Amino acid sequence: MKATAKAHTNIALIKYWGKRNESIILPTNNSLSLTLDGFYTTTTVAFDDSLSEDRFKLDNQLIAGDQYNRVTAFLELIRKMAGKHIYADVESVNDVPTAAGFASSASGFAALAAAGTKAIGLNLTNQELSQLTRQGSGSACRSIYGGFAEWEMGTKEDGSDSYAVPIAPADHWDIRVAAVVLSSTKKKVSSRTGMKRTVETSPFFQGWIDSIPNDLTQIKHGIQDRDFQKVGEIAEANCLKMHATTLGANPPFTYWHDTTLAVMQTIQEMRAQGIPAYFTIDAGPNVKVLYLPEHEKNVEQTLINLPGVSDIRLSKPGQGVTYL
């Protein structure tokens, strides 16, 4: 009873920011993402009758505490679905800078869901897998699919209509993403804490929610038409609106560093010089830059020379979850 799966992380172009149900992770809005080939997690799950508890190794380190608890709680969902009470050995290898604005939880839980369900003998559709994955990490439900995917928030209280759907495959459009790494340190306010605080206290939150449907409609047209300017402008504006909600929270907070702002300003200056590039930022200091292949060298060289930039990771659209 053993299986291995590989899942890639994704970058949200229309952000997921806010939950209407914390326990089973139901969002307050639809979101849309691009799966990235450059960042992934490979996970092996082996169910074993001789084990008296779950074991979890990440990058060859035995894990305890909160991370372990999230994994065992998720394995419990899989056991319940399968009607089997058997513990598992889980080994994950991450190729994602963890906890600094890169969604390692997205690739991590997508790979865990795929390997875990296969190892225990479940044969789920992608929709079922996405729905299950959501309960481990919201953004992870989008990583089941390659290319562009939309997480439909759903309306049902049990979450049965909240899962991701594919919008366009990885080979639809050769759009590129440069992940600008500013800091590998852990952020002071976790995504979960920040999201909850914003929903409960920010007066800007409702404006954010009200703006999402139009952003989604427009960006989907842009993706189908391969309209880079349209997609870039909407993604950048959506990102700024999301981060504005954090400044209105009580107490207020931001995920940005001074270098984050410097990168944002540099991207705007590049556009003024005729190089089409747009930024988006998740709940962390690192910036992701959208660009087209013909501008790769220019984008990379401009950004790597900025003070405070430690690394740049280039990525193309990635595939959905695969079994190894």
Tell me the two tokens of residue 75: 């394995």
Q: What is the predicted pLDDT for the residue at 100?
A: 43
Residue 124 confidence (pLDDT) above 50: yes
CATH number, domain 2-171, options 3.30.230.10, 1.20.1290.10, 3.60.15.10, 1.10.3720.10: 3.30.230.10
Residue 311 confidence (pLDDT) above 90: no
**If one looks up domain 176-315 in CATH, what number appears?**
3.30.70.890
Residue 99 confidence (pLDDT) above 80: no
- Specify the pairing of strand 311-315 against strand 176-181: antiparallel
Start and end residues for every CATH 3.30.70.890 domain found in the chain: 176-315
Q: What is the predicted pLDDT for the residue at 103?
A: 60
Q: What is the predicted pLDDT for the residue at 241?
A: 98
Residue 101 confidence (pLDDT) above 60: no
Counting every residue written for the chain, the total comes to 324
Q: Which residues of 176-191 are buried (b: 16+ CB within 10 A; e: fewer)?
A: bbbbbbbbeeebebeb
Q: Do residues 21 and 77 lie in contact, with contact meaning Cβ atoms separated by under 8 Å?
A: no
Q: What is the predicted pLDDT for the residue at 183?
A: 63
Whole-number percent of the chain with pLDDT over 70: 97
Q: Do residues 54 and 189 lie in contact, with contact meaning Cβ atoms separated by under 8 Å?
A: no
Q: Express each pLDDT in 224-267 by its tens digit.
A: 999 999 999 999 999 999 999 999 999 999 999 999 999 999 99
Contacts of 78 (CB under 8 A, 6+ apart): 113, 116, 117, 120, 122, 132
Q: Express each pLDDT in 143-171 by its tens digit.
A: 999 999 999 999 999 999 999 999 999 99
SS3 123: coil
Q: What is the predicted pLDDT for the residue at 121?
A: 97
Q: Express each pLDDT in 7-33 by its tens digit.
A: 999 999 999 999 999 999 999 999 999
Contacts of 5 (CB under 8 A, 6+ apart): 42, 43, 110, 111, 112, 114, 115, 118, 321, 322, 323, 324
Q: Report the chain's C-alpha Rg in angstroms.
A: 19
One-letter amino acid of 22 = E
pLDDT band at 102 (very low <50, low <70, confident <90, very high): low
Start and end residues for every CATH 3.30.230.10 domain found in the chain: 2-171
Angle in degrees, 0-180, between the axes of helices 104-119 and 65-82, rounded to the nearest 10 = 40
Count of CA atoms in the C-beta half-sphere (13 A) of 305 = 7
Mean pLDDT, rounded, of the chain:
95
Among the listed ranges 48-52, 76-80, 126-130, 189-193, which one has the minimum average pLDDT value?
189-193
Could you please report the per-residue DSSP string of 98-119? Answer: TTSSS-HHHHHHHHHHHHHHHH
Residue 184 confidence (pLDDT) above 70: no
pTM of this prediction exceeds 0.75? yes
Q: What is the predicted pLDDT for the residue at 191?
A: 86
Cα torsion angle, 80, 84, 87, 90, sign: negative
Among the listed ranges 98-112, 129-143, 271-285, which one has the minimum average pLDDT value?
98-112
Rounded to an integer, what distance in angstroms lies between the CA atom of residue 118 and that of residue 84? 13
Rounded to an integer, what distance in angstroms lies between the CA atom of residue 251 and that of residue 263? 26
